[in-house]
Amino acid sequence: MTLRITAILALLAWSAGAAGPPGRGPHAGNPVLPGYCADPSVVLFEGRFFVYATLDPWGGETLGCWESADFKRWTYRVLNWPTKSACTSPTSGGAAVWAPSVVKAANGRFFMYVSVGNEVWAGTAEHPLGPWRNALGDRPLIPGTFRPGFHMIDAEAFVDDDGAGWLYWGSGWNWTNGTCWAVRLKPDMVTFDGDVHDVTPANYFEAPFMAKRGGRYFLMYSQGVTIKDTYQVHYAVGDTPLGPFTEASNSPILVTDAARNVVSPGHHAVFRHDGRDYILYHRHSIPFDPAFVGRQVCVDEVEFTADGLIEKVVPSHEGPGLVRGRTDGRGVLPAVATASGEAGPDFAAGGATDDNYATLWRAPAGATHAWLQLDLGAPATVARQEIRFEYAWKPYRFSLEVSGDGRAWRTIEDRIREPATGSPVILDRAFTARHVRLSFPRQAKDVGVAVIEWEVLRETAKR
């Protein structure tokens, strides 16, 4: 009984908005994407943001793609390309789809450079969501055998002010021997224009990113081991796209802060919006588990100074103004969450209702009939629900049940036979009730039962 009372008090604390350990309190802007993604790339097109990322752990059959009009609320999109099967050649290794870089070229088309099977493939499309196609047919842009002894991964494209395209890529083996290559691209963006150059700066391992400010070229990159706590962002400066690059005196600029639950930030992109510069990067999920490769995408402001430096980045959980206020004006009904059980103290039911993508409710492993329940406090008219499961790309089987008294239940949505995928999963069925429950049968072995966020919206907030 004491344990049950303690659990209820903890849930009420979550509901009331009590602060938790760093990164685990309510209303956090970081991470910006629900779920586990890494190596982000971002483009802005026709007033909408598109973020492309590796699906963790260690990539998948394809990429993750997310779309947003405000950088606060994101919808998962399924791309037709790249896929592991479409990007396979005689020189391919077994690695999955990793590390996209997407840019808009001078010719108006979009180009994607992505690591598949330890080599770089190039795709092109007229729109950020595609349809995409292999730009070079059935062969990679950079085969896995291009430089034996090195990883042909993490290609990052850069379009200079004059419209010229440049490509940077390269890593090492066994977390050592990192090397960065660079080459100018012809206007078709998939043909090398001249020799490939070794432009490796000090403390480079992988994940190059080129930014240009004030006529100078900032080659940014990651060093360390992404699955440990040593991953961090460095930078070096040069006067041309090919350098030579000299590491800055204040490098690295983004590092682990274990006391604040920020572990191994890196493999980033930089973008400018409304006059401000931002750094989009991944870091480990909370709590940090060295045995689980579950990275999450975050964003913070970054400043390029007048004297040619990049200020050190202070990684935050609240995030910059760009991502704050995710639920403002949405008409989300307050609720107290309870559950059939939790996988541990870090996965309590309140994690699904705290407006924080770093927290979630997870049912115990192997649960045969798990449920997550919301008490709205009084009967309410509901028109819309948005559910963000742990993995946007995996199928979830559940039923939605409602009740006026918490005892007699009726099912109003059945996704048992036709499981739901995506993020958010949207339920537009209207009803009036005080209690709402998601019931889960046993899931597929590689899915489990976990909800990052469950929003119940009052009638006026449907559209």
Q: How far apart are CA 106 and CA 295, in angstroms?
A: 33
Q: Is the peptide bond before 90 cis (omega within 30 degrees of 0)?
A: no
Residues with Cβ within 8 Å of residue 67, at least 6 apart in sequence: 48, 49, 50, 74, 75, 77, 128, 129
Integer Cα distance of 211 and 277 in angstroms: 11
Of residues 119, 206, 354, 390, which has the active-site annotation?
206
* CA–CA separation, 168 and 184 (whole Å): 9
Closest by CA position to 102, among listed 62, 158, 162, 54: 158
Q: Amino acid letter at 224?
A: G
Per the CB < 8 A criterion, the answer to whether 428 and 420 are in contact is no
d(CA 449, CA 55): 18
Closest CA to 109 of 132, 87, 78, 136: 132
The question of whether 206 is a catalytic residue gets the answer yes
CA dist 43 and 125 (Å) reads 13
Pairing between β-strand 232-238 and β-strand 216-223 as defined by DSSP bridges:
antiparallel
Distance CA 87, CA 121 (A): 7
The number of residues making up the chain comes to: 463
- Prior bond to 244 cis, omega within 30? yes
Residue 121 · residue 89 · CB < 8 Å: no
3-class state of residue 260 by DSSP? helix
SS3 23: coil
What residues contact residue 199 under an 8 Å CB cut-off, 6+ apart? 168, 180, 181, 182, 219, 242, 243, 244, 245
Rounded Cα gap, residues 87 and 153, in angstroms: 14
Name the residue among 383, 456, 390, 328 with its Cα closest to residue 31. Answer: 390
Active site residues per annotation: 39, 206
